[in-house]
Amino acid sequence: MSEKEIYLDNSATTAPFPEVAEAVKHIMEESYGNPSSMHMLGVNAEQKLTEATEILAGTLKCKPSEILYTSGGTESDNMAVFGVAHARRRAGKHIITTRIEHPAILEPCACLEKEGCEVSYLGTDANGIIDLNELESLIRPDTILVSIMHTNNEIGSLQPIEAAGALIKKKNPDCIFHVDAVQGYAKDTIIPKKLNIDLMSVSAHKFHGPRGVGFLYIKDKTRIDPIIYGGGQQKGMRSGTENVAGIYGMALAARKSYANLSDDRQRMYELKKYFTDELIRIDGVSVNSTAEGAPHIISASFEGVRSEVLLHSLEDKGIYVSAGSACASNRPHVSATLTAIGLRKDLLDSTIRFSMSTFTTREEIDYTLSMLTDLLPTLRRFTRH
């Protein structure tokens, strides 16, 4: 194993900002009261929650009351899908989503189909972008929910969220528009009210915050049912004692990310262009991410080499990457995203996702390119045909 450590799997999770880790530790040790308790330790914890909520609401230009805390992106996505379906079952049972959504959307939709809902799945072009005309044709009077991700977690495609939101509200004003912004929040400025977004999912560990915490933006007066019941916290919408340390750490990470957003985006786009330009110079390598996509995600296919083999070979050199979505990489699977964009069948199991962060450097990219150049000829020599 190499002594180097080059982490290029930031779409799976990010290293926390040092000040975030320190703040979480401090709150766990000093402000450990239950925010529902009436004594001073509880009041202190509640004040931390209030401060965090104001910070997060500021990033979205929304009301603090429109932020609902969850355990992360998966719970937020599940709550959006099940919450709308159950609350609006009398209005209709038709849902629209895309074929390239995260499993946290696709699996709840599959579950709802078994309960009698009808789900329409939007396709994409070769760049992973939906067709707005197809979306318009699918919206019906009984369509209760449209769920479209902001940024694809495997290839980084950016969906036309603003145009989609306007179209949905024009054709069916009562239809709820949910956006999975787990890969987009803190990488882009997202103002839900400007984009006609009713629900939006966010996860802290994707932008240098703690794991196990996130939130669901719920536009004022949007009716959804809870999926967790119990103590009545968060106005009964999500019972369970709030993760004060995690929530506060998430807010600090969001504030720092948005303070540096413009510079970070420009720097990552420059690194992405450099990396992709050099990748396609290597024999048998093709890039599946476009220049116009997210600044931090690069999907590349390596002809004649299985992705798992290349992943572990890079790991031996101290380089950490992903073979598609980390959420599904522990079991054999065919990527729904790569299939949807029409990637050649022989490349479906030969694709690696590199994902950067504010910590990624040009030197790390150069080292990765050097190792790829060295490894690929040897790995191809031993590939079974």
Q: How many domains are contained in the chain?
A: 2
Mind listing the pLDDT tens digit for each residue in 231-269?
999 999 999 999 999 999 999 999 999 999 999 999 999
- Residues 300 and 370 occupy one common structural domain: yes
Domain boundary among 209, 224, 258: 258
Q: What are phi and psi of 23, to 5 degrees?
A: -65, -40
pLDDT of residue 384 exceeding 70: no
Name the token pair of 131: 């067709």
Would residue 38 count as lying in a domain? Answer: yes
**Does residue 228 share a domain with residue 190?**
yes
Distance CA(143)–CA(91), nearest Å, equals 8
The reply to whether 1 falls in a domain is no
Say if residue 332's pLDDT is above 70.
Answer: no
Residues 274 and 368 in one domain: yes
Q: What is the CATH number of the domain that holds 366?
A: 3.90.1150.10
Residues 50 and 172 in one domain: yes
Does pLDDT of 59 surpass 70? yes
Question: 1 near 318, Cβ under 8 Å?
Answer: yes
pLDDT tens string 264-285: 999 999 999 999 999 999 999 9
Q: How far apart are CA 126 and CA 382, in angstroms?
A: 31
Cβ proximity of 106 and 336 under 8 Å: yes
Which residue among 258, 292, 314 closes a domain?
258
- 268 in a structural domain: yes
Of 352, 359, 366, whose CA–CA distance to 275 is shortest?
Answer: 366
What is the spatial distance between Cα 317 and Cα 367, in angstroms, rounded to a whole number? 10
Averaged pLDDT for residues 149-170: 98
With respect to residue 340, please indicate whether it lies within any of the assigned structural domains: yes
Hunting for tokens 């379906």 — which residue is that? 85
215 falls within a domain: yes
Do 272 and 136 lie in a common domain? Answer: no
- 283-323 pLDDT, tens digit per residue, is 999 999 999 999 999 999 999 999 999 999 999 999 999 99
Look at residue 3 in the predicted model and tell me its pLDDT: 73
* Whether residue 243 sits in one domain with residue 336: no
Chain mean position to CA 100? 12
- 351-378 per-position pLDDT tens digit: 999 999 999 999 999 999 999 999 999 9
Q: What's the mean pLDDT when you consider all of the chain?
A: 95
Residue 84 and residue 220 in one domain = yes
Query: What six digits make up the tokens of 223?
Result: 């009716």
| Residues 239, 177 share a domain | yes
Question: What string of DSSP letters covers 319-363?
Answer: EE-BSS-GGGTTS----HHHHHTT--GGGTTSEEEEE--TT--HH
Closest CA to 150 of 135, 138, 136, 165: 165
Same domain for 248 and 280?
no
Q: Are residues 225 and 268 in the same domain?
A: no
Q: Looking at 191, 224, 258, which one is the last position of a domain?
A: 258
Residues 177 and 269 in one domain: no
Domain membership flag for residue 106 = yes
Structural domain including 126 reads: 18-258
pLDDT at residue 200 tops 90: yes
> How much is the pLDDT for 125?
96
What is residue 60's DSSP assignment?
Answer: H
265, 178: one domain: no
Question: CATH number, domain at 52?
Answer: 3.40.640.10
What percent of the chain is predicted at pLDDT more than 70? 96
Structure tokens at 120: 């329409």
Amino acid 385: pLDDT: 46
Q: What are phi and psi of 218, to 5 degrees?
A: -125, 110
Residues assigned a catalytic role:
327
Confidence of residue 4 (pLDDT cuts 50, 70, 90): confident
Q: Would the pLDDT of 205 be above 90? A: yes
Label residue 329 by pLDDT band (50, 70, 90): very low
